[in-house]
Amino acid sequence: MSGPPPPDRRLQLSTTVNGRPVTLHVVPEALLLDVLREDLGLTGSKRSCDVQVCGACTVLLDGLPVSACAVLAYEARGRTVLTIEGLASEERLHPVQEAFLAASGFQCGFCTPGMIMAVTAMLEEAPAATPAEVREHLRGNICRCTGYVSILAAVAAAQRALARAGA
């Protein structure tokens, strides 16, 4: 381990995470998930399948759900990232979070942050999604514990709550 230090390959990345401007230096191949978890300590987004299949790392990039395990951190430059840690307001949980708690839409909880982010994005886009549309939308979020039934019940409850709030 001698010789000159390697050239600094890192890029400057300025982005907004959970409403706060962030500037840090990342290697070009750094994944958004690693930067969130390792550099920013935001461990709510989970690493599981590594191949954009399971949805455990779902975060919102400019409001759209993405798998943070398959997005380069540098792609987030100048954009906004929302993770599960940024979903609740100071005073209260987001209605989707409240619905998951009330319906017990989780068991081990490992898929829950990604699931909640995916549901939040879906309900922004399609608040009145039918049960079949909800199932189709959530096919990219795997849960191994619940058999999904309580999760789908939580989604229906969240739809009702958001409709009431909007009415």
Partner 1 sequence: MSLRETIPPLLVIPGVVYAAPVRSPYAHARIVGIGRAAAAAVPGVLAVLAAGDLGVLGERPFGTFLKDQRVLAGDKARYEGEPVAVVVAEDRPTAVRAARLVDVRYEPLPPVVDVERALLPTAPLVHDTPPPLGRQGRWRTVPATNICARVTLEQGSIEQGFREADVVLERTYTFPRVFHFTMEPHGAVASATPTELTVWTNTGHPYQLRQELADMFELDLARIRVVVPYVGGSFGGKSFPKLEPLAAVVSATVGRPVKVVNGVEGSMRTNRRHGARVTVKLGARRDGTLTAKQARVLLDGGAYADLGPVVAEKTGVRQLGPYRVPHYSIEVQNVYTTTTPAGAFRSIGGPQSVWATESIMDELAAALDMDPVELRLVNLVARGETVRAGLRPMDADLGDDLKRLVKAMDDGASPEATGRGVAVGISNPAELPISTAIVRLHYDGSVTILCSMVEVGQGLHTVLAQIVAEELGVPRAAILVVSPDTRFGPYDWSSGASRGVTIVGTAVQRAAQDIKAQLLALAAETAGVPAADAVWRDGRVQVGGRSLSPADVVRGWYGRPAGEVIGRGYVRNLGADPAFWEIGMGGVEIDVDRETGVIRLLSYTGLADVGRAINPQLCEQQDVGAVVMGLGHTLFEEMTYSDSGSLLSASMIEYRVPLTVDLPAALSAVLVENGDGAGPYGAKGMGEGGNLAVAPAIANAVARATGARLRDLPLTPERVWAALRAAGARTRA
Residues engaged in binding partner 1 (CB under 8 A): 1, 5-6, 41, 43-44, 46-51, 53-54, 56, 93, 97, 101, 104, 106-111, 134-136, 138-139, 141-152
88: number of CA atoms within 13 Å, CB side?
10
Which residue number, 11 or 49, has a Cβ lying nearer to partner 1?
49
Residue 93: CB minimum distance to partner 1, A = 7
Tokens of 2: 């001698």
**Cα dist from 16 to 73, 100, 143, whole Å:** 12, 27, 29
Nearby residues of 108 by Cβ (< 8 Å), 6 or more positions away: 144, 145
126: number of CA atoms within 13 Å, CB side?
15
Residue 18: CB minimum distance to partner 1, A = 15
Which residue number, 1 or 165, has a Cβ lying nearer to partner 1?
1
Dihedrals phi, psi of 58, to nearest 5 degrees: -60, 125
By CB atoms closer than 10 A (0-12, 13-18, 19+), residue 115 is buried
Residue 165: CB minimum distance to partner 1, A = 20
Which residue number, 82 or 167, has a Cβ lying nearer to partner 1?
82
Residue 10: CB minimum distance to partner 1, A = 13
Residue 6: CB minimum distance to partner 1, A = 7
Which residue number, 82 or 84, has a Cβ lying nearer to partner 1?
84
Which residue number, 5 or 21, has a Cβ lying nearer to partner 1?
5
Q: Which residue shows structure tokens 């409403």?
A: 19
